[in-house]
Amino acid sequence: MEVTDIMMSKTVVFNSHMKTDIRIQSNSNNSNSIINRTDATTSNIYKNSSDNPDFINITYKESLSKLEMETHFHNSYEIIYVLEGTAQFCISNKTYDVAPGNIIFINNLENHYLKAISYPYKRYFILIDPFCFQSIVNDPVLLSLFKNRPEHFNHTIYLSKELRSAVIQQFDNILGEVKNKKDYWEFAIESYLKGLLVLLFRNYQDAFPLISYTKPMETIFQIQKYIEENYTGEISLENVSKLFYIDKYYLSRLFKETTGFAFKEYLILQRISKAKERLFYTNDNITKVAADSGFNNVNHFIRIFKKYTGTTPLQYRLKNRECKK
């Protein structure tokens, strides 16, 4: 939940079913107004992989006074670039003090907390559907900023002054392409997203969990994709090891070393991520949400969900829908 006295934001949402919506929002103690302008319907270039219709949400925001966001998650990959002001992020039990020039990467499995420290706090951020992003990039090394979390991983990169203008230009270009939708604008967005990652890799290679592409890493990458695409089925370390012709003990160790997650934990987190999405975007009862997210027993689902989120599925639905209002 975001708490702020005065905030100005410009949001461009890119999706395949809805129309592009640009929102200028001002919140204060005595006002709460939203101005909407709806542009032409966007292209159907990306296939929807979930009940959430939004694939890419690109936003520039300025917070002029008190801003604090409770621990939350986005069922998306998130990229944040800080332009002005300072803030503190807590991402999966790691705390970062960020300042102008910091770019932050958060995946769809990570809860995070934010508190602005100095104002005005100005930033860009992109939320993008993981399946969409992987179809655009489809390279394990570049994707490792989102898919791999070894113990030493740092969620932030502090950019040199020489590179900041180039990164800002990439964000501006994406905003402009989505807003204006000139010929082949979808391909331009793909190019800018790839260009951003290539620029960072060339200059901050050590920030990427993977810096080379080996056969074992390719196997883990394919196993991650298999879990993400088949999370509702009967998945176990043993049957996956057989499917990919790899010793299960070696797979267990390699999976943990490469991704930062134990195999079972990764599977559970993927299922919980999908459950959160269904709780937020559908009115399905808890039993159906559990089944559609890969949990065969609703009581087990409720217990696991509370263990990882600190709340029950029903409480999560009520709280987050209320926050969205």
Are 35 and 159 contained in the same domain? yes
Confidence category of residue 53, pLDDT binned at 50, 70, 90: very low
Are 44 and 152 contained in the same domain? yes
Residue 25: CATH number of its domain = 2.60.120.280
Stronger pLDDT, 90 or 322, i.e. the higher one: 90
- Residue 180: the pLDDT is 87
Are 186 and 112 contained in the same domain? yes
Whether 237 shows a pLDDT value over 50: the answer reads yes
Helix (H, G, I), strand (E, B) or coil at 110: coil
Are 258 and 315 contained in the same domain? yes
Are 266 and 296 contained in the same domain? yes
For the chain, the domain total comes to 2
Q: Which of 185, 207, 229 delimits the end of a domain?
A: 207
Question: Which two three-digit tokens encode residue 63?
Answer: 């917070």
Please say whether the beta carbons of 59 and 9 come within 8 A: yes
Q: Average of pLDDT values for 224-246?
A: 96
Q: Which of 207, 239, 268 delimits the end of a domain?
A: 207
Q: How far apart are the first and last CA of the chain?
A: 10
Please say whether the beta carbons of 272 and 309 come within 8 A: yes
Are 171 and 279 contained in the same domain? no
* % of residues, the chain, pLDDT over 90: 67
* CA atoms within 13 Å, Cβ hemisphere of 290: 18
Whether 282 shows a pLDDT value over 90: the answer reads yes
Cβ-Cβ contacts under 8 Å for 119 (sequence gap 6 or more): 63, 64, 65, 67, 85
Please say whether the beta carbons of 269 and 281 come within 8 A: no
Are 112 and 176 contained in the same domain? yes
Block residue for tokens 């057989």: 242
- Residue 35: the pLDDT is 28
Whole domain around residue 184: which residue ranges?
A: 2-207
Q: Which of 159, 175, 207 delimits the end of a domain?
A: 207
Whether 10 shows a pLDDT value over 70: the answer reads no
pTM of the predicted protein model = 0.80
- Residue 11: the pLDDT is 52
Choose the most confident range, by mean pLDDT, from 21-30, 64-73, 86-95. Answer: 86-95
| Cis peptide bond prior to 53, omega within 30° of 0 | no
- Residue 31: the pLDDT is 31
Are 242 and 198 contained in the same domain? no
Whether 33 shows a pLDDT value over 90: the answer reads no
H/E segment holding residue 114: strand 112-128
What's the mean pLDDT when you consider all of the chain?
Answer: 84
Are 197 and 269 contained in the same domain? no
- Residue 323: the pLDDT is 63
Q: What is the DSSP letter of 212?
A: S
- Residue 5: the pLDDT is 38
Are 117 and 250 contained in the same domain? no
Q: Give per-residue pLDDT as tens, 169-219.
A: 999 999 898 888 899 988 999 999 999 999 999 999 999 999 888 899 899
Are 57 and 196 contained in the same domain? yes
- Residue 70: the pLDDT is 86
Q: What are the Cα distances from residue 73, in Å, to 127, 139, 304?
A: 11, 24, 17
* Residue at 218: amino acid letter: E
Are 27 and 164 contained in the same domain? yes
Q: Average of pLDDT values for 7-24?
A: 41
